[in-house]
Structure 1
């Protein structure tokens, strides 16, 4: 039932791992190219979410897509405007502030991804459970 989505998740995780592994070889230009590519992919996905909000015939799909967009906007706002301010007293330069803020943001993004995977597992199991309940009820009524 969810095989395609699980495969997609596995592919994305594998791609992320490979890209990060390759980029840890201190080739700054390569890191910048990968960052540009990842940014473009993220923007494409965000555009698809926006189209889902605007064009979806399902109110549920539109609401879920809007929630993802709102989360992304809020976290970006925190990263861009608020996070560096938290480090001003701890570091000496704006560049150090930005480096600290970016490292914290990256760590949080990974933690959020892990939590999202746990939530995906719970909701997938709930969907399977509900489907099985429905099938069992139908068999009883036959």
Structure 2
């Protein structure tokens, strides 16, 4: 695909659409309706699980070793980050302030908030990485086209 054909147009549209949905969902849920937050959380968790199944399918069934490797890395990261949130982060927070184990719910909530901030930071970093790799792909394509005309 040539650069002037909008090489990344579909992916950019999807990124913009998902970002808009995330903003809308967070704004709606910040209105202190606990039931609405739980319903939205359930929907998002279902979407997340579907995406995880798609990644797993790419790992197991992709004809491209590169796609399988990238999907595997994404799946590994996702699972490890979940493990940290659910098991390790509350322990780290409890150890830092020396509080009793019965304050576990408080630590779990703090861990979830910290994790959410990190996930947003990671998304920003992922966007930078996506930009870098897209520019690199464009540069390589232009190099290839320039070599053909010489």
TM-score by structure 2 length?
0.91
RMSD of Structure 2 on Structure 1 (CA): 0.9
> Where does structure 1 differ by over 3 angstroms across 4 or more consecutive aligned residues?
none
Mapped partners of 1:108, 1:82: distance in 2: 15
Q: Larger relative CO (CA 8 A, sep 6+): 1 or 2? A: 2
Unaligned runs of 5+ in 1: none
Q: Does 1:28 align with 2:20?
A: no
2:16 to 1, 10, 17: 10
Q: Does 1:112 align with 2:113?
A: no
Tell me how far 1:87 sits from its aligned partner.
1.5
1:1-142 matches, within 5 Å, as 1-89=7-95, 90=97, 93-140=103-150
Mapped partners of 2:75, 2:17: distance in 1: 22
For residue 4 of structure 2, what is the aligned residue in structure 1?
none
Deviation track 1:60-105 (CA, whole Å, cap 9, x = no partner) reads 0000000001101111111111100012143561111101100000
